[in-house]
Amino acid sequence: MVVTTSALRQNIYSLLDEVLETGVPIEINRRKQRLRIVPVKKPSKLANLKGRTKLKGDPQDIVHLDWSDEWKA
C-alpha cells in the first residue's frame, strides 16, 4: 500500500496496526522518494486460517462410497 505523508500522519496508528496484522509493508511517498514500513517479524500464515466445519460421522463411510456412476475416464 502506498500512502502520502499527510495520510500517514492522519492514520498512523491504524496503518501501523494493519502492517502488524497483515505483514504487508506500507510505502510512503516523501519528496519524490519512497520509504517503507515493514514488520521485523512477519505474522504466521497459519494464524490467518479460518476454522472450517469438520466431517461428521464415520470416516470409513467415505472410503466405501460407490462412485462408479460419477466416474468418467
Give the ranges where 1-73 is alpha helix by DSSP (H): 5-22, 59-63
- Provide the residue range defining the domain that includes 14: 1-41
Cα pseudo-dihedral 6, 8, 13, 14, rounded to 10: 110
Instruction: Specify if 46 maps to a domain.
Output: no
Instruction: Specify if 26 maps to a domain.
Output: yes
Neighbours of 66 (CB within 10 A): 7
pTM: 0.55
* Total count of domains within the chain: 1
CATH number at residue 32: 3.40.1620
pLDDT in tens, the chain (73 residues): 899 899 999 999 999 999 988 888 999 998 989 999 998 887 777 877 888 877 788 878 888 888 788 887 7
Instruction: Specify if 72 maps to a domain.
Output: no
Instruction: Specify if 56 maps to a domain.
Output: no
Instruction: Specify if 73 maps to a domain.
Output: no
Instruction: Specify if 31 maps to a domain.
Output: yes
Grid coordinates representing 46 are: 497459519
